[in-house]
A = this chain, B = another copy of it.
Amino acid sequence: MNDVSRGGSPVHRRSKAGHRWEGVDCLPYKEDEQARFKAISRQVLFSDPVLAAELRFFEVAPGGFSSLERHQHAHAVLVLHGHGQCLIGREVRRLEPHDLVTVPPWTWHQFRAASDASLGFLCMVNVDRDRPQLPSQEDLTDLQADPSIAAFLGALSHDGVDRVEDTKSKETRGLDLVTSRRDGRRFFGKRPRS
């Protein structure tokens, strides 16, 4: 038995310049015309059958942001570099390197890089997790009633929602972003046959 790797995955992967790693694919998000400056990439640092959680690294370019969403599973976030802000529930917080952020279940959240700095953060999540839920117009109206949240969301598109998701992710592979006719919520799923 080779002690040093298993399943072809080496035990030591060196850091490279620009917050990249040996043997780790960098998965870009598509740019969305309606959600300007959404410039975010994802790298899965640890994903292993013997681990109950994954550790991912997200890099948000200046002015970029992650999806505004919520879900049953929690996030455990550590800022690795840069500056920005996050919305967690109804709190907007400024983020500095090595800050910790907990996203509890069913809590609206979004991460945004500063306009003049990138934001790179680690995010730990359970391997078994549910799909994100996107806000309905009613949810957005409710959030935007708070001036600090409205300001946080201000640079977003008209409805604050990023419409183009990373379809390479485990959660969304092969799924469409669907709007429910019942309650207006958007989620990842199979588009109903017409």
B78 and A4 form a contact (CB under 8 A): no
Q: Determine, out of A31-39, A50-58, A163-171, the stretch whose residues face the partner at the interface.
A: A50-58
Given contacts A76-B55, A90-B3, A104-B6, are A46 and B124 in contact (CB under 8 A)?
A: yes
For window 93-126 of chain A, which residues contact chain B by CB distance below 8 Å? 93, 96-105, 107-108, 122, 124, 126
Q: Does A140 contact B (CB under 8 A)?
A: no
In residues 80-99 of chain A, which contact B (Cβ within 8 Å)?
A: 80, 86, 88-91, 93, 96-99
What is the bound-complex CA distance between A126 and B88, given in angstroms?
A: 25
Q: B50 touching A91 by the CB < 8 A rule?
A: no
Q: How far is the CA of A127 from the CA of B52 in the complex (A)?
A: 8
A85 to chain B, nearest CB (A): 11
A2 surroundings in chain B (CB, below 8 A): 89
Copies in the complex: 2
On whether the beta carbons of B3 and A100 are closer than 8 Å, the reply is no
* Residues of A in contact, count (CB < 8 Å): 52
A91/B15 contact (C-beta < 8 A), A50-B105, A52-B126, A98-B21 known: no
Would you call A185 an interface residue if the criterion is a C-beta within 8 Å of the partner chain's C-beta atoms?
A: no
In this complex, what residue of B is CB-closest to A105? B50
B14–A90 touching, CB < 8 Å: no
Cross-chain contact B13 with A100 (CB below 8 angstroms): yes
A126 to chain B: which residues have CB within 8 Å?
50-53
Most B Cβ at <10 Å: residue of A51, A93, A97, A105: A51
**Within 8 Å of chain B (Cβ to Cβ): is A45?**
yes
CB distance from A22 to the nearest CB of B (A): 8
**Which residues does chain B contribute within 8 Å of A99, judged by CB atoms?**
12-15
A59 to B: closest C-beta gap in Å: 12
Residue pairs across A and B with Cβ atoms less than 8 A apart, 10 shown, are: A11-B103, A12-B93, A12-B101, A13-B99, A14-B96, A14-B99, A15-B97, A46-B124, A51-B76, A78-B122
